[in-house]
């Protein structure tokens, strides 16, 4: 075997939420740690460009907002949302370590918006909103101040294993283009994100994904999954990849994401017809939207929902999918009456008016005969009539912001092969699968990265042998 070019205790692939957390923990446990990042800057990861809603149970912020939550309730919500296809061991690990991670972030100086919100999958509001650029900068500072190094423009290109199958290091491509072999004395942690920008793999899952916009971090080309698969690693939940229904049809970033159907709006297609229960996960709504004309839908709501979203913006002090800021207000189509709204949306007015009237009848009767909507979102809130003019619509498409399925891991974030840990190999964040199951409890994409990244870093740093 060629000599090593460098060595370190813990080698981490990818400087997003999971990788930086792994570095902080590994360094805090006394290990030397290097994070290799493919991109040039810290703010190119999905973590950095995310909306910033993170799901934690039992926080002081929930208590201040009068919300009673529990680990058991959150675990149940995640499993029910995932249609019990989730790995219960990972779900338990999430809730066991969520509050500790929230407190760690508070100690590092992360500031949360004063309100908490309910979205897909939640029985109670547990979405905690923060500024993600600030978060990744803070994590990077915390990692480096503990002695970890973050090296940019240096992708990890492969894993190196010894004859016994133990991962002993990785190859990286240095800025100069030179390939280097880095020994990892304690372990390699894969935190290189998902595969929303791996068209070949996506096409194998669903050919129509070719026409779905990918908005994940640009490094999400499935590298972690490919490297782990090359060593025979197990995978989970890859078949459940779905877009998320929330992005403005002309949009491309978190700024253009709006989810007011969870606040009382409905969703109609280009014919002015409802096609889905609006309270289910926005991933499942996106799945249904793939079958609609132009693979798009309209969020339709009245001025009561509009006013609530404008007030939520003021209360949160930060834009989010549940709030209306000036940018999103500009993107709305408006009508003084439903007929005028329909004309402006270019959908048949008679059909839209009939759809809304029928929906309002369902709300009055307490039973949605068409799609069974009983709540606003998850297990939360009661549907409301849409009858206060003016009316609004937001042209919405599904986008691939995250892939959710990936490398199989256990509760210590050890990568599994035929159900057994591969010695020396760990993974965390979006590169892993199993936690979400068949659908998505909101706020657990970032949550999973931040919580499981810590576990992976500590597991690698404290590995015996």
Which residues make up the interface to ligand FAD (CB under 6 A)?
13-19, 36-39, 44-47, 49-54, 155-156, 191-193, 215-217, 219, 223, 254, 401-402, 429-431, 443-447, 449
Choice between 187 and 429, CB closer to ligand FAD: 429
Q: How near is the Cβ of 224 to ligand FAD at its closest, in Å?
A: 7
Q: How near is the Cβ of 46 to ligand FAD at its closest, in Å?
A: 3
Choice between 198 and 302, CB closer to ligand FAD: 198
Q: How near is the Cβ of 4 to ligand FAD at its closest, in Å?
A: 18
Which residue in the block uniquely carries the two structure tokens 């002309």?
250
274 φ, ψ (degrees, to nearest 5)? -70, 155
SS3 content of the chain, % helix, strand, coil (to 5): 40, 20, 40
Q: How near is the Cβ of 209 to ligand FAD at its closest, in Å?
A: 15
Q: What stretch of H or E contains 425?
A: strand 420-427
269 phi-psi bin (left φ>0, alpha ψ -120 to 50, beta other): beta
Q: How near is the Cβ of 211 to ligand FAD at its closest, in Å?
A: 18
Which residue in the block uniquely carries the two structure tokens 């909101």?
442
List the structure tokens of 393.
């619509």
List the structure tokens of 309.
């979203």
Q: Pairing between strand 432-433 and 406-408?
A: parallel
Q: Are 396 and 299 in contact (CB under 8 A)?
A: yes
Q: How near is the Cβ of 34 to ligand FAD at its closest, in Å?
A: 11
Q: How near is the Cβ of 369 to ligand FAD at its closest, in Å?
A: 33
Choice between 113 and 279, CB closer to ligand FAD: 113
Choice between 377 and 386, CB closer to ligand FAD: 377
Choice between 98 and 352, CB closer to ligand FAD: 98
Of 378, 409, 331, which is closest to residue 69 (Cα–Cα)? 378
Q: Are 51 and 41 in contact (CB under 8 A)?
A: no
SS3 category, 463 = coil
Choice between 256 and 368, CB closer to ligand FAD: 256
Q: How near is the Cβ of 366 to ligand FAD at its closest, in Å?
A: 32
Choice between 16 and 297, CB closer to ligand FAD: 16
Show the 3-state SS of 17-29: HHHHHHHHHHHHC
Residue with the CB atom nearest ligand FAD in the bound state = 16
Q: How near is the Cβ of 42 to ligand FAD at its closest, in Å?
A: 8
Q: Give the contacts of 398 (CB within 8 A, at least 6 positions apart).
A: 212, 242, 243, 244, 245, 246, 247, 285, 286, 287, 289, 290, 295
Q: How near is the Cβ of 186 to ligand FAD at its closest, in Å?
A: 19
Q: Find how far residue 402's CA is from the centre of its chain.
A: 6
Choice between 46 and 299, CB closer to ligand FAD: 46
Choice between 74 and 384, CB closer to ligand FAD: 74
Sheet holding 235-236, edge to edge: 235-236, 406-408, 432-433
Choice between 51 and 143, CB closer to ligand FAD: 51
Beta bridge partners of 421: 416
SS3 category, 296 = strand
Other beta carbons within 10 angstroms of residue 371's beta carbon come to 17
Q: Quote the CA–CA distance of 183 and 305 in Å, as a whole number.
A: 56
Q: How near is the Cβ of 400 to ligand FAD at its closest, in Å?
A: 9
Choice between 384 and 450, CB closer to ligand FAD: 450
Choice between 178 and 418, CB closer to ligand FAD: 178
Q: How near is the Cβ of 335 to ligand FAD at its closest, in Å?
A: 29
Q: Quote the CA–CA distance of 397 and 60 in Å, as a whole number.
A: 35
Beta bridge partners of 393: 300, 333
Q: Quote the CA–CA distance of 177 and 173 in Å, as a whole number.
A: 6
């Amino acid at each position: 075997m060629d000599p090593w070019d460098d060595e370190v205790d813990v080698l981490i692939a990818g400087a997003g939420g999971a990788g930086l957390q792994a570095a902080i923990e590994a360094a805090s446990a006394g290990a030397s740690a290097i994070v290799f990042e493919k991109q040039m800057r810290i703010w190119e990861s999905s973590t950095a460009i995310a909306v910033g809603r993170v799901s934690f149970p039992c926080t002081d912020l929930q208590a201040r907002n009068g919300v009673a939550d529990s680990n058991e309730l959150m675990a149940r919500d995640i499993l029910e949302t995932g249609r019990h296809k989730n790995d219960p061991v990972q779900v338990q690990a999430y809730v066991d370590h969520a509050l500790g991670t929230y407190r760690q972030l508070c100690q590092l100086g992360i500031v949360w918006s004063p309100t908490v919100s309910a979205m897909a999958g939640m029985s109670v509001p547990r979405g905690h909103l923060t500024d993600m650029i600030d978060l990744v900068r803070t994590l990077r500072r915390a990692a480096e101040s503990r002695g970890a190094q973050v090296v940019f423009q240096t992708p990890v290109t492969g894993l190196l294993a010894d004859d016994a199958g133990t991962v002993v290091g990785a190859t990286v491509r240095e800025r100069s283009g030179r390939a280097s072999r880095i020994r990892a004395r304690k372990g390699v942690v894969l935190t290189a994100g998902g595969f929303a920008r791996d068209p070949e793999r996506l096409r194998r899952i669903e050919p129509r994904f070719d026409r779905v916009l990918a908005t994940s971090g640009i490094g999400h080309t499935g590298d972690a999954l490919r490297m782990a698969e090359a060593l025979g690693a197990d995978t989970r939940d890859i078949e459940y990849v779905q877009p998320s229904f929330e992005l403005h049809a002309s949009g491309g970033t978190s700024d253009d994401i709006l989810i007011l159907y969870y606040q009382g709006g409905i969703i109609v297609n280009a014919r002015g017809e409802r096609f889905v229960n609006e309270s289910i996960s926005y991933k499942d709504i996106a799945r249904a939207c793939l079958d609609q004309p132009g693979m798009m839908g309209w969020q339709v709501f009245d001025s009561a929902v509009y006013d609530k979203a404008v007030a939520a913006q003021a209360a949160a002090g930060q834009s989010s999918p549940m709030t209306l800021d000036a940018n999103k207000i500009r993107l709305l189509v408006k009508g003084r009456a439903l007929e005028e709204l329909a004309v402006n949306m270019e959908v048949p007015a008679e059909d839209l008016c009939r759809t809304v009237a029928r929906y309002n009848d369902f709300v009055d009767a307490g039973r949605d005969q068409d799609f069974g909507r009983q709540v606003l979102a998850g297990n939360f809130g009661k549907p409301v009539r849409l009858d206060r003019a003016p009316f609004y619509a937001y042209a919405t498409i599904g986008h691939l912001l995250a892939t959710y399925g990936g490398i199989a891991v256990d509760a210590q974030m050890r990568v599994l092969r035929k159900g057994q840990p591969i010695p020396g190999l760990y993974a965390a964040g979006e590169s892993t699968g199993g936690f979400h199951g068949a659908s998505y409890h909101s706020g657990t994409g970032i949550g999973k990265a931040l919580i499981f990244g810590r576990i992976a870093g500590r597991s690698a740093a404290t590995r015996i042998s």
